[in-house]
């Protein structure tokens, strides 16, 4: 089945910057920084899920989405892009995602959390928003900014923080599973295992 893809790669803007620098320096030497970064890129050449976050400060929470997708063996790409600080890149990523074979976009941001909405504005792929906890309002600002989309441009909004990150990945998997019976079976097994654990719980 095609969903059994490559292991996940965390490909950030830092990687991108390193790649550009490395390219300039030593574009031909085998084993060089350039070739390492190239192979990292190719290791995630067919991602099905794009996991975006507004800042590197969101990564600790968004690792849960990354881990969940990896646990199910689904190829994905994680990267930092900001609706406000790098708006052109955000629009470009959204507009090119479908042609790259991406099927679901997960977008996490905190505070004035517009990333998921901006992604949704530029693509008809399903966009799942994850509000990050914020210092000022504990994530309530992020939640409202993500969830309160105008009619016509939907964002499926998950819970604030880690639960939302994990569930965004599980929901992305459920979307992918619609056309992938083997992935659907994996999800069912995941639910059964979860239930078994609860039923076996003993309070001491």
| Cβ partners under 8 Å of residue 168, min gap 6 | 65, 106, 108, 128, 129, 130, 158
Task: Indicate which single residue of 12, 16, 32, 55 sits in contact with ligand AIR (rule: CB under 6 A).
Answer: 55
Rounded-to-integer distance, Cα 29 and Cα 133, Å:
44
From residue 167, how far is each of 37, 172, 178 by CA, in Å?
A: 30, 8, 17
Residue choice 19, 52, 65, 83 for contact with ligand AIR (CB under 6 A): 83
Give the range of 10-18, 76-84, 148-156, 175-183 binding ligand AIR by CB under 6 A: 76-84
Q: How far is the CB of 116 from ligand AIR (least distance, A)?
A: 10
175: tokens are 């979307």
**119-138 binders of ligand AIR (CB under 6 A):** 132
Q: Does 81 bind ligand AIR (CB under 6 A)?
A: no
Only one of the segments 22-30, 37-45, 65-73, 106-114 lies at the binding site for ligand AIR (rule: CB under 6 A); that segment is 106-114
- Using the minimum distance from each CB to ligand AIR, give the nearer residue, 10 or 82: 82
Kindly state the smallest distance separating residue 61's Cβ from ligand AIR, in Å.
Answer: 9
Q: What is the 3-state secondary structure (H, E, C) of 55-96?
A: CHHHHHHHHHHHHHHHHCCCCEEEEECCCCCCHHHHHHHHHH
| Interface with ligand AIR, residue 85, by CB under 6 A | yes
- 24's CB contacts (< 8 A; 6+ apart) are none
CB of residue 181 to ligand AIR, shortest distance in Å: 36
Applying CB under 6 A, which of residues 102, 113, 119, 177 lies at the interface with ligand AIR? 113
Q: Return the axis-axis angle of helices 181-199 and 162-177, rounded to nearest 10°.
A: 140
What six digits make up the tokens of 124?
């008809």
- One of 57, 96, 194, 196 touching ligand AIR (CB under 6 A): 57
Contacts with ligand AIR, residue ranges (CB under 6 A): 53-55, 57-58, 82-85, 109-113, 132
């Amino acid at each position: 089945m095609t969903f059994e893809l490559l292991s996940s790669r965390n490909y950030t803007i830092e990687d991108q910057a390193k790649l550009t620098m490395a390219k300039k320096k030593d574009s031909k030497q085998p084993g060089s920084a350039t070739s390492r970064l190239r192979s990292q890129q190719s290791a995630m050449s067919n991602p099905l899920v794009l996991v975006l976050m507004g800042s590197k400060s969101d990564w600790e929470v968004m690792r849960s989405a990354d881990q969940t997708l990896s646990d199910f063996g689904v190829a994905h790409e994680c990267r930092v892009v900001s609706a406000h600080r790098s708006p052109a890149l955000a629009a470009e990523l959204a507009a090119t995602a479908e042609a790259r074979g991406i099927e679901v976009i997960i977008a996490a941001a905190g505070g004035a959390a517009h990333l998921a909405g901006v992604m949704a504005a530029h693509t008809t792929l399903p966009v799942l928003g994850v509000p990050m906890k914020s210092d000022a309002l504990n994530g309530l600002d992020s939640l409202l900014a993500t969830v309160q989309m105008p009619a016509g441009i939907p964002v499926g909004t998950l819970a604030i923080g880690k639960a939302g990150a994990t569930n965004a990945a599980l929901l992305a998997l459920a979307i992918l599973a619609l056309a992938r019976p083997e992935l659907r079976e994996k999800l069912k097994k995941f639910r059964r295992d979860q239930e078994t654990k609860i039923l076996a719980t003993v309070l001491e």
